[in-house]
Structure 1
Amino acid sequence: MMNIAIIGYGNAVLNYHLPYLDRRGNINVKYIFRREEDRVREGTDHESWYPSIQFTTDLNEILQDREVELVVICTHVDSHVGYATAALENNKHVLVEKPFAPTIEEANQVFELAKSKGLIAMANQNRRFDGDFQTLKKVLESGKLGNIVEIQSHYDYFMPHYIKKGNFGMLYGLAVHTIDQIVSFFGTPDDIHYDVRSVFYPGEADDYIDIDFYFGRTKATVKCSMSVKLEHPKFTVHGDKGSFIKYSSGHQKKNPNGPTSVSFEPEPEDNWGRLSYVDDHGVEHNEKVPSEVTDYGILYEKLYHAIKNDGEKPVSDEEVITVLKVLEDGLAIAKSAKLISTF
């Protein structure tokens, strides 16, 4: 059994951590830390949804509890480094929501402190375990598409009312997920082309993201926009033997009147991926690809193994730094309203 403490009690905790931790018999959420000002502003009624968890406004209660092995930080990015440093200095492993840190320099400082203490500091890149991305990985690893020529990954909304001057945040808040998915599969890119801007207020926001990653002969494009009205595939893949498309698997519904529950039932067949390819004998195949099930708890299982059994971290420091470099460069481009190529 591994006891953990969570810092924060917002959307990420309620909908992307606790529902999946509830299924893990080897992980116990002992504490949730909330600042007093957050309890006053947001209320405390929803703390009763989890009667077995101790809610506290005293961070030292967590840091001084020797039973707590892992501290999970689910706060705004500008407080990640401070909380992570405090936890590491008190001999706790840390799992930090993405983006891991505001800058590469600060991320490296946290990683160096963790290494000096013999502890793990890791980014919570849980979206590697989205059902649609796991389905994509299954197809890529099958080899049926041959050499991959192009992948497109979309994370779009139709929310033009959201766009305001000075409203930067799509790169760090949304695109970070899909950028990490690409990096987790292909590694460090050979080159990157950026088109990150605001359609409405050039240099004042980042509501349009179109980034091309090059890995040898393969190009992977991450697109994110607030101006997409019609749904299109989450993933589109073309290889020299065929093509694959998959629409989004979506996410669990929030429950405003109680704790979020998630389904682990297989996705309906009408949203399975579509695969068309020609095999080595020249025979054409058209298949539906059953969707994998979204389970963000898998990341916790892998982290548990790394902590308890000296296993490999499921998200490496190098991957975190690679993603942060893309975010930093992309934001700089959005602010300058220019297109550049760098890595």
Structure 2
Amino acid sequence: MNDPSTPLHVALIGYGFAGKTFHAPLIRSVPGLALRTVVSRDANKVHADLPDMDVVADVAKVLADRQVDVVVIASPNDTHAPLARAALEAGKHVVVDKPFALDLQQARSLAAVAQQQGRVLSVFQNRRWDSDFLGVRQLIAQGTLGEVTHFESHIDRFRPQVRARWREQPGAGSGLWYDLGPHLVDQALSLFGLPERVWGSLATQRDGGEVTDWAHVVLEYGQRRVILHAGMLVAGGSARFTVHGTQGSLVKPRIDVQEAQLIAGMRPGDAEWGIDPDDLLLYDGDGQVTHLTTPRGDQSRYYAAFRDAVLGRGAAPVTPRQAITVMAVIEAAMQSAAEHRAVVLELEDGEREAWQAASN
């Protein structure tokens, strides 16, 4: 077990959008974690933000460094599984940016390696700590809406021009469903557990688009329907969350502000960090609307929980088994879209237990 009085030394692999915007600032904001090394081919880019950071171009140097306790993988999606395996086999604790892997087989293999090595492995589902999701989860848990019959979750953007970046170019793990689907799925499973069946529809809608840029997935839970949607041609008009129940409805119009705050240079601990000015709108059966203050978000809580897991103070904030079930839904939606039919998740008994507490 690591000495709790000594900060855990962290190496970050990748300094693209995810590494620069989310991982580096969130890691640096958490006591007990020390970001010491960044793996990047562009040292100038890293030093523009972090002048004193040790930057190396070779992942092997990080894996061989005995001072490195934790490796965070924020590189392109098709490198997640091989890099995570290499880091685990080198004795490191590992955080993998979403998606956890490219398929269910890779996900299961990583979980097995982590168990064999006795290391903490987790996937970066930072949006569990978004203000909008925290507010919706709280009201559902309190029973304010009664029995939830319809749950709709959107992450929509307006980016009509295809950009020259790997996420929008053909290749393993590219496209909108791999990019945003893991967040949408993880939140839904956290609330409702595993669905009985999955329906998926995927499309490429933008001129010049070569990968999926529209996704619409329906999860079936008896009479309840959970709709997960993402699109790149949405200029406005869709709510982040819409929830209907037997005692009322809830709408959260706009998305959590932490990504915008991080891009603007705000950091956890700043006075306005995570404060969401967009209210939750609660509708009763008479059409009356009550404005409720949205809880404060704080994505740095993911890394605080991961730190505690490494120090033996609790479980990983997102466990490998939970990451496997998210991957199962991602795959099922893709299969459904390709075969135009509902798909039942192919999970083992132990994997199905991952969300048992959430579904009770």
Q: Report how many residues are paired.
A: 326
The reply to whether residue 316 of structure 1 matches residue 319 of structure 2 is yes
Deviation at 1:323, TM superposition (A): 1.7
- Give, as a single letter, the amino acid of the residue that structure 2 aligns with 1:266: I
Match of 2:351 in 1: none
Does residue 341 (structure 1) correspond to residue 347 (structure 2)? The answer is no
Confirm whether residue 275 of structure 1 aligns to residue 282 of structure 2: yes
The aligned residue for residue 275 of structure 2 is 266
1:65–1:161 CA distance, 2 compared to 1 (3 A): closer
Q: Does 2:325 correspond to 1:325? A: no
Q: Is the 8 A contact 1:4 1:68 kept in 2?
A: yes
The residue correspondences of 1:119-134 to structure 2 (distance < 5 A) are: 119-134=119-134
Q: Match of 2:341, as an amino acid?
A: I
Report the CA distance between 1:200 and its aligned residue.
6.8
1:150-189 residue pairs with structure 2 within 5 A? 150-162=150-162, 169-189=175-195
Say yes or no: does 1:24 pair with 2:30. Answer: yes
User: Which amino acid in structure 2 is aligned with residue 118 of structure 1?
Assistant: G
Q: Does 1:252 align with 2:260?
A: yes
Task: Check whether the contact 1:17–1:296 (CA below 8 A) recurs between aligned residues.
Answer: no
Give 2:223's aligned amino acid.
Answer: R
Asked whether 1:148 is paired with 2:145, we answer no
TM-score (norm 1): 0.86
Tell me how far 1:46 sits from its aligned partner. Answer: 3.9
Change in 2 beyond 3 A, CA 1:182/1:77 = same
Mark the CA change 1:307 to 1:252 in structure 2 (over 3 Å): closer, same or farther.
same
Q: Secondary structure at the match of 1:252?
A: helix
User: 1:1-343 to 2 correspondence within 5 Å?
Assistant: 1-34=7-40, 38-39=41-42, 44-162=44-162, 169-199=175-205, 205-247=211-253, 248-250=255-257, 251-253=259-261, 261=267, 263-264=272-273, 266-268=275-277, 271-277=278-284, 286-334=289-337, 336=338, 338-343=339-344
Report the Cα offset of residue 333 of structure 1.
4.6
The residue identity in structure 1 corresponding to 2:65 is D
Unaligned runs of 5+ in 2: 1-6, 345-360
Question: 2:354 aligns to what?
Answer: none
Distance across 2 between alignment mates of 1:55 and 1:246: 41
TM-score, normalised to structure 2, is 0.82
| 1:70-127 deviation digits (Å, cap 9, x = unpaired) | 1100001111122112211111111001111111111111111110111122111111
1:18 CA displacement: 2.1
Q: Residue 264 of structure 1 aligns to which amino acid in structure 2?
A: W
Distance 1:200 1:284 in 2: 38
Quickly say closer, same or farther: Cα 1:175–1:277, change in 2 above 3 A. same
Q: Which amino acid aligns with 1:130?
A: D
Q: Deviations along 1:126-157, whole A, 9 cap, x unmatched? A: 11111111111111112111110111111112
Deviation at 1:20, TM superposition (A): 2.1
2:4 maps to none
Offset of residue 173 of structure 1: 0.9
- Looking at structure 2, the residues matched to 98 and 320 of structure 1 have their Cα atoms a distance apart, in angstroms, of 9
What is the rounded CA distance, in whole Å, between the counterparts of 1:220 and 1:313 in structure 2? Answer: 26
Aligned to 2:347: none
CA-atom RMSD in angstroms: 2.7
Percent identical:
27
**Equivalent-residue separation in structure 1 for 2:213 and 2:48 (angstroms):** 38
Rounded to whole Å, the distance in 2 between the matches of 1:295 and 1:242 is: 28
Q: How big is each residue's C-alpha offset from its partner over 1:310-339, in whole Å with a ceiling of 9 and x where there is no partner? A: 5122212232122212222333455x4x52
**Residue 253 of structure 1: CA displacement?**
4.8
Question: What stretches of structure 1 of length at least 5 have no aligned partner?
Answer: none
Q: Select between 143-152 and 301-310 the one with higher mean Cα deviation.
A: 301-310
- The answer as to whether partners of 1:212 and 1:219 remain within 8 angstroms in 2 is yes
Once residues 50 and 198 of structure 1 are traced to their aligned partners in structure 2, the CA distance between those partners, rounded to angstroms, is 38
Confirm or deny: 8 A CA contact 2:275 2:297 kept in the other structure: no
Give the Cα separation in 1 of the matches to 2:262 and 2:194: 35
1:161-206 Cα shifts (integer Å, max 9, x gaps): 43999586010012221111111222211121222233579x9642
